[in-house]
Structure 1
Amino acid sequence: MTEQHYSLDDIRKNVSHIDNEILKLLSERRLLSLEVAKSKIGTAKPVRDQAREQELLLRLIKTGKTQQLDALYVTQIFHTIIEDSVLFQQAYLQKLANPDSLQPVARVSFLGAKGSYSHLASRNYFSRKQTKLVEMSCSTFRDVLNIVETGNADYGVLPIENTSSGSINEVYDLLQHTSLSIVGEITQPIEHCLLTVGDVDVKGINTLYSHPQPHQQCSEYLHSMGDITQEYCSSTAEAMQKVAELNLPNVAAIGNASSGKLYGLTPVKGNIANQQENFTRFIVVARKPVDVTSLIPAKSTLIMSTAQKAGSLVECLMVLRNLNINMTKLESRPVIGNPWEEMFYLDVEENLKSDVMQQALEELTRLTRFIKVLGCYPSENIKPTEVEIEE
């Protein structure tokens, strides 16, 4: 029996056919997950069932082994599929909980032009909501808020913290004075690289353009470059546009490789951030708060000012501990005009409407000089279900 040989074109056609079948099946699976969400409305069951997910993953790992697929490969693929399923169900349930917010088109403000990290985060967030965007670029964080406050945009997207450079203090300071509510969040991977006009030698670069945050997040690599001039721009998009206009071999921008293509730039050095796992968390703000269904995990963000005496902050934090409310973020910022007085920002994993959160707010109100809820919103940080993978 002679062995059949396929041409490269035939092999590629078969691979493309399989890829199309995979996409079809993923679409069918997503629609079934929507039916799961509908069934949970009547039973009031939460979207996530960690025990069910763990059982599913273990079964898939076992089945994968019979197909010569290693456990890590299967786990990575299905973690992504499960995350998509959870977010898809959450988006559906949130639409039911907030019928007034249903709109086919949304006006969204963000920092920088097309290609900035804020722009990418905006697109990724609203793609989950299946909402078309009218994109409104802004030159400052204050403008992002103002355009929403005045009704000229429906939503604003702002970076709030980064795994490498920490909190974005300017945004926290602006949140002290806004009337807007936080209605959503998204965590965006940040993949910094050097972008130039053409494929140039990195050693010849002596001037770098970017927003101050990427400069800070890539400080170790920039130090290794020696004596270079760091020029600050209002966004990574402006930096890329500047480098494209200069059209010089000795200048570069720090930004995202795919965004650089919009400006005709070439990535000449990737993975330049201090941390390889570099993520920025963005918040979404709007004029009206949203209701978060009890079927999905929620976050609430508060700001408060405590009395100027020893132990005041500890007393407030003990309220959360005693009520078993998990705090995921605590940030302090100075109160403008009041020297040595701090405003504290807290993110907690609890729905504002829950009995335990209402009790916490009641106790915190008695202990603080000032307290305000900035928003309650769906938590979209989907932690993968852990399973033990046998070697």
Structure 2
Amino acid sequence: MSKPTLSLDDIRINVSRIDQELLSLLADRRKLSLEVAKSKIQTQKPVRDIEREQVLLEKLVADGKTHELDPQYVTKIFHSIIEDSVLYQQAFLQRLTNPDNEQPLARVSFLGGKGSYSNLAARNFFARKNTKLAEIQCQSFKEVIEVVENGNADYGVLPIENTSSGSINDVYDQLQHTRLSIVGEITQPIEHCLLTAVDTDVDVIEVLYSHPQPHQQCSEFLRSLGNVKQEYCQSTAEAMKEVAKLKDPKVAAIGNASSGELYGLTPLKSGIANQQENHTRFIVVARKPIEVTALIPAKTTFIMSTGQTAGSLVESLLVLRNHGINMTKLESRPVLGNPWEEMFYVDVEGNLRTDVMKDALEELTRLTRYIKVLGTYPIENVAPCEINV
């Protein structure tokens, strides 16, 4: 085997130089995407152009092959770049649409302490807005909402549903009574690990701390452990704090590996969720609703109570179909104090500013016993376009 022409140090220097060049090019591309957003204000074209994205990706994949780059590798990189470009443009357009909401610092309430999944979601959401956070740690979903309602926080971040464990009912129940509006959403990958404070083995663990949701999302792994005691905490952050304090080889926590580092914990086993693709959708609430520019895709959430007659729910849902409005979520929850009465939570793809949504809601108001819009907000889940690679 011939010796490399460069030393390891020289190779690393070249790799670092290329990395810096890549960062500079990505920054230049971001600036150009902002110019694209400005031009679309003049032309009133939507931010996303799926057909152009497909053509672009197919050409990049073909060009990548000439450089011996794997198509999946090229596709993954440019999906990330396109996603960043779309979200960057959306954030810019939303700042122009809602100038009164512009602020360099936001007070944000969330469940748990530093490193909880809600804390990570809050940081990621506002990082996209270039907004610094004053973090307010809460002990319950109800407190997250109350802190915003009484003016001690500007925003609250709440988990609403998970791909593994489904809807988070406690949050839906709180939304029945709040005066707050939904102003944003973010979908966060949830990477559950078994975290310990000391070196140990999985078969030694006797007690497992976490919030009830991670316990539910990792139920298959927990069954494989046998008779392990499950201790419920108010958040994953509280669970990690407790395990760090105990320093016992027989106890562990379920949480995120990077968050565990904040508490001196190390992952004993990774990937313990029931589903490999485990994501939680979080909503962001505030005292005032926002307007969403027509140039970006929007989602509207509302709650309604239909009549108790047969077919009343179907009749209401047909209104959405007849107006060509796509429903992405339907959740029912009991109305406290009214036995057998249900409140329905509905997510649709649509903007409250459009005539279509206004007409649909007017019709639903006539059909239902009660209806309330919880908010219209940008869709921030940028689905990758499909191409043949």
| Category of TM-score, reference length = shorter chain | over 0.9
Question: What's the offset of the Cα at 1:4?
Answer: 6.1
Residue equivalent to 2:49:
49
User: Is 1:12 paired with 2:27?
Assistant: no
Specify the alignment match of 2:75 in structure 1: 75
Partners of 1:199 and 1:375 lie apart in 2 by 48
Residue 64 of structure 2: SS of its match in structure 1?
A: helix
2:258 pairs with 1:238: no
What is the match of residue 358 of structure 1? Answer: 358
How far is 1:199 from its partner? 2.7
What residue is the counterpart of 1:199 in the other structure? 199
SS in structure 2 opposite 1:174? helix
The C-alpha deviation readout for 1:103-123, integer Å capped at 9, x for no partner, is 010000000000000000000
Q: Does 1:187 align with 2:184?
A: no
- Counterparts of 2:238 and 2:120, CA distance in 1: 14
Partner of 1:84: 84
CA distance in 1, matches of 2:17, 2:154: 41
SS at match of 2:369: strand
**Hey, what's the Cα distance between the residues in 2 that align with 1:386 and 1:365?**
38
Residue 148 of structure 2 corresponds to which residue in structure 1? Answer: 148
Distance across 1 between alignment mates of 2:320 and 2:18: 51
Q: Which amino acid aligns with 2:26?
A: L
Whether the 8 Å contact between 2:191 and 2:255 is mirrored in structure 1 is yes
Q: Which residue of 1 aligns with 2:101?
A: 101
Partner of 1:211: 211
Q: Kindly provide the CA deviation profile for residues 175-196 of structure 1, in whole angstroms up to 9, marking residues without a partner as x.
A: 0000000000000000000000
Say if 2:198 and 2:248, in contact at 8 Å, map to a contact too: no
Q: Once the two structures are superposed, what CA deviation does each residue of 1:21-52 show, in whole Å capped at 9, x if it has no partner?
A: 11111111011100000000011000000111
Provide the C-alpha distance between the structure 2 equivalents of 1:31 and 1:334, rounded to a whole number of angstroms. Answer: 49
1:336 corresponds to 2:324: no
1-structure distance, mates of 2:340, 2:123? 40
| Equivalent AA in structure 2 for residue 245 of structure 1 | K
In structure 1, what is the Cα distance between the partners aligned to 2:23 and 2:249?
42
After TM superposition, give the deviation of residue 198 of structure 1 in Å: 2.5
Q: How does 1:1-391 map to 2 (within 5 A)?
A: 5-389=5-389
- Mapped to 1, the partners of 2:379 and 2:102 lie a distance apart of 19
Where structure 2 has 5 or more consecutive residues not aligned to the other structure, the ranges are: none
Give TM-score, length-normalised by structure 2: 0.99
Q: Which string of whole-angstrom CA distances, capped at 9 and with x for unpartnered residues, describes residues 222-241 of structure 1?
A: 00001110000000000000
Distance 2:152 2:175 in 1: 19
Give the fraction of aligned pairs with identical amino acids, expressed as a percent: 72
Amino acid at match of 1:355: D
Helix, strand or coil at the partner of 2:198: coil
Separation in 2, partners of 1:378, 1:209? 35
Q: Tell me the distance in 2 between the aligned counterparts of 1:267 and 1:383.
A: 31
- For residues 224 and 152 of structure 1, the distance between their equivalents in structure 2, rounded to whole angstroms, comes to 44
SS of residue paired to 1:276: coil
> What 5-or-longer segments of structure 1 have no aligned partner?
none
Q: Quote the offset at 1:200 in angstroms.
A: 1.4
- How far the C-alpha of 1:9 sits from its partner, in A, is 1.1
The letter for the 2-side match of 1:13 is I
TM-score of the pair, normalised by structure 1 = 0.98
- 3-state SS, counterpart of residue 18 of structure 1: helix
Amino acid at match of 1:334: P
Task: Write the deviation string for residues 304-348 of structure 1: whole angstroms up to 9, x where unpaired.
Answer: 000000000000110011111000000000000000000000000
- State how far apart, in whole Å, the 1-side matches of 2:211 and 2:135 are: 20
Q: Partner letter of residue 110 of structure 2?
A: F
The 1:8/1:298 distance shift into structure 2, 3 A limit, reads same
Say which SS state the counterpart of residue 5 (structure 1) adopts. coil
The alpha carbon displacement at 1:79 in A equals: 0.5
C-alpha RMSD over aligned residues: 0.9
State how far apart, in whole Å, the 2-side matches of 1:362 and 1:371 are: 10
1:210 partner letter: S
- The one-letter code matched in structure 1 to 2:133 is L
Provide runs of 4+ in structure 1 moved above 6 Å.
none
